[in-house]
Amino acid sequence: MHLAFAALLWLCQVSSPQVETSARGQASAQSPIVHARALIDAGKLKDAREALRGLDQSQREVAYLTGLLHYRSREYPAAIEALTRAVSQAPQDTTIYKESVQMLGLSHYLSGHLREAIPWLEKAEESGAGTAEIFYMLGNSYIQSVDPDKARGAFARMFDVAPDSAAAHLLTAQMMVRQEFEEQAEKELHRAFEIDPKIPAAHFLLGELAIFHAHLDEAISELRQEIALNPDFGTAYYRLADAYTRREQWDTAIPLLQKSIWLNPTFSGPYILLGKAYSKKGDSGNAEAMLRRSLQIDPQNASANYLLGQLLMPTGRADEARKLLERWQQLRKENER
């Protein structure tokens, strides 16, 4: 999902340029091309498909519009085929070339062909499309190709920081964590510390990785260091409390969760953990209050529905408990899709 998100947002931004008809195009042949382009611009893709069907696909303008049609229809293999024909005929200073290389990069990216996307995304950047979306996709593609230096360069351009800065290493590590390149992410984070030992969020990321691997001593150490550097970071208190709850150290976790809520009262996670902690300590009243508050913030949270259902079942509120547990089962199934 992370890989495709920005590209999907950008999908709607690509508009077909004024099609550059070649000198060999006759006036009688221009009208169907212009008509097909107008249909695509109007979103009438079915009609545009019919309009393009009888045209000469060897013409770069027709190949471009056919590729654009398939791209808008999210038919990426067909888009790649048509756009490759178009770009092979178009001079690099033309709009057809510039739009085609961008769509080729996106089509490969959205098809999961990240290595194949790289040369087209690079050409898109070279042709002037130096947008955040292009840099994001390039950076992710370089990560998948295990090229951390180029990935860091792309993310540095995306966030407008120096590629050899601590910030660039931190940002690259964050993107690597999302793609589960954890070993590479740790290297980037340690390099960030070498440049700036007090950079915010780096200890937090290391703490998150340690929790994921159940290295709780390491997680607690990293998160406490993060809080020392960044004391208003509510999520750091939450994740530190999470580490303690995994050890069932409820009394240590509760004040950390309270601090997290005071810093960020609209995040449901600490309320859920507080509900669990109070329940484990036998304080069902506070547990219920925290879990109900979490569901006010995030009604779709499966864990909150489950915990509140379990809490209410033995209290004579079986009907409400059953509804919550049924909702929990429904949400679990939806999340597994």
Which of 293, 296, 288 minimizes the C-alpha distance to 317? Answer: 288
Q: How many helices (H) and strands (E) does the chain have?
A: 19, 0
pLDDT in tens, 142-193: 999 999 999 999 999 999 999 999 999 999 999 999 999 999 999 999 999 9
Q: What's residue 29's pLDDT?
A: 43
What type of residue is 113? H
Average pLDDT over residues 34-38: 88
Q: What's residue 117's pLDDT?
A: 97
- In this predicted structure, the answer to whether residue 37 has a pLDDT above a threshold of 70 is yes
What's the rounded Cα separation, in Å, for the pair 301 and 107?
A: 34
- In this predicted structure, the answer to whether residue 16 has a pLDDT above a threshold of 60 is no
pLDDT in tens, 47-57: 989 888 888 88
Identify the burial level of 194 via C-beta atoms within 10 angstroms of its C-beta, where 0-12 means exposed, 13-18 middle and 19 or more buried. exposed
Average pLDDT over residues 279-303: 96
Tokens of 79: 């888009």
Q: Kindly state the percentage of the chain with pLDDT values over 90.
A: 80
Tokens of 4: 């495709």
Q: What's residue 20's pLDDT?
A: 46
Per DSSP, helices labelled H in 90-165 are 95-110, 114-126, 132-144, 148-159
User: Are 24 and 60 in contact, with CB atoms under 8 Å apart?
Assistant: no
Mean pLDDT score across all residues of the chain: 91
> What domains are defined for the chain?
33-128 (1.25.40.10), 269-336 (1.25.40.10)
Q: What's residue 31's pLDDT?
A: 78
Q: Is the pTM of this model over 0.85?
A: no
Average pLDDT over residues 133-148: 96
Average pLDDT over residues 319-329: 95
pLDDT in tens, 216-231: 999 999 999 999 999 9
Q: What's residue 2's pLDDT?
A: 52
- In this predicted structure, the answer to whether residue 332 has a pLDDT above a threshold of 80 is yes
Higher pLDDT: 59 or 274? It is 274
User: Are 255 and 274 in contact, with CB atoms under 8 Å apart?
Assistant: no
Higher pLDDT: 23 or 248? It is 248
Q: Kindly state the percentage of the chain with pLDDT values over 70.
A: 91
pLDDT in tens, 229-251: 999 999 999 999 999 999 999 99
Higher pLDDT: 286 or 15? It is 286
